[in-house]
């Protein structure tokens, strides 16, 4: 399984990666990190991702714009996406769903919730 984590905060990225790794005993895992929407776009042609986790509030292009692009792209539209953002952007959460993001996780979250939602996203037991 190959996962793309898009998040501009380096310590948050490290935290997300740690949780995802600790919850992945049952499957092979490779995590690619991107620190911005642009970086995410740049990595796309070089990997075949099984899931993408993205923050909303980021410099250059934001998470919603990334979701919109992916969900309309002939090659990438089937990659399941989880948007991870804070409760203060409730409206943006609704928009993410409208654009086709499969999962939404609100920060701060419990490690277990992330692991659980990711399993659902990847369809692994």
Partner 1 sequence: MAREDDRAREEFTSEAEELLDTLSRDLADFESQGANVRPELVNKIFREVHSLKGLAGMLGFTEISELSHSLEDMLDRLRMGRVAISKDLVDLLYDSVDSLNRLVIAINDPSLSGLVDMTGLTRRIHQIVTNQPQQKHGDAFSELTLDEQTRKSLTEYEEHRLLENVRAGKHILSLEVTFDFSDFDERLRTITANLSEAGEVISTLPAIPTGNINGIAFRLLYGSTLDVDAVAVLAPEANVSSLRKTAPATPTPAPVTPAPEVEEEMSLRSLSQTVRVDIAKLDHVMNIVGELIIEKTQLEALTRAIAMQQARMASHELGKISRNLDRKLNELQKSVIEIRMVPVGQIYSKLSRTVRKVARELNKEIELILRGEDTELDKMMVEELTDPLMHIIRNALDHGIEPADERKAAGKNPVGRVTLTAYQQGNSVVLDVTDDGRGINPEKIRRVAVERGLIGEKDTVDLARAYELMFTPGFSTAAAVSEISGRGVGLDVVKKNIQDLKGSIDVITHLGEGTTFRVSLPITLAIIQALIVEAGGDKFAIPLTSVEESLRIYSRDIRTVERREVFTLRDFTLPLLRLADAFGLEDHHDHGPDTKWFVVVTRAGEKTIGILVNALVRQQEVVIKSIGERLKTIPGIAGATEIGESEIVLVVDVGSLIDHFGGRAREVRAAVLS
Residues that bind partner 1 (CB under 8 A): 8-12, 14-15, 18, 37-39, 41-42, 44-45, 56-57, 59-62, 64-69, 72-74, 86, 88-89, 91-92, 95, 98-99, 107-109
CB of 77 to partner 1, least distance (A): 10
CB 54 within 8 A of CB 67: yes
Between 2 and 43, name the residue whose CB sits nearer to partner 1.
43
The smaller minimum CB distance to partner 1, of residues 46 and 123, is found at 46
- Give the residue carrying structure tokens 């991702």: 49
Measured from the CB atom, the residue of 98 and 124 that comes closer to partner 1 is: 98
């Amino acid at each position: 399984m190959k996962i793309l984590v898009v998040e501009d905060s380096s310590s948050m990225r490290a935290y997300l990666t740690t949780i995802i790794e600790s919850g992945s005993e049952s499957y092979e895992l490779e995590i690619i990190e991107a620190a911005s929407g642009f970086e995410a776009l740049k990595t796309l042609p070089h990997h075949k991702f099984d899931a993408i986790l993205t923050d909303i509030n980021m410099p250059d292009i934001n998470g919603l714009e990334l979701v919109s692009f992916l969900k309309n792209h002939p090659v990438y539209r089937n990659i399941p996406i989880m948007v991870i953002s804070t409760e203060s952007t409730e409206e943006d959460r609704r928009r993410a769903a409208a654009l086709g993001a499969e999962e939404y996780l609100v920060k701060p979250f419990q490690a277990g919730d992330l692991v659980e939602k990711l399993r659902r996203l990847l369809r692994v037991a």
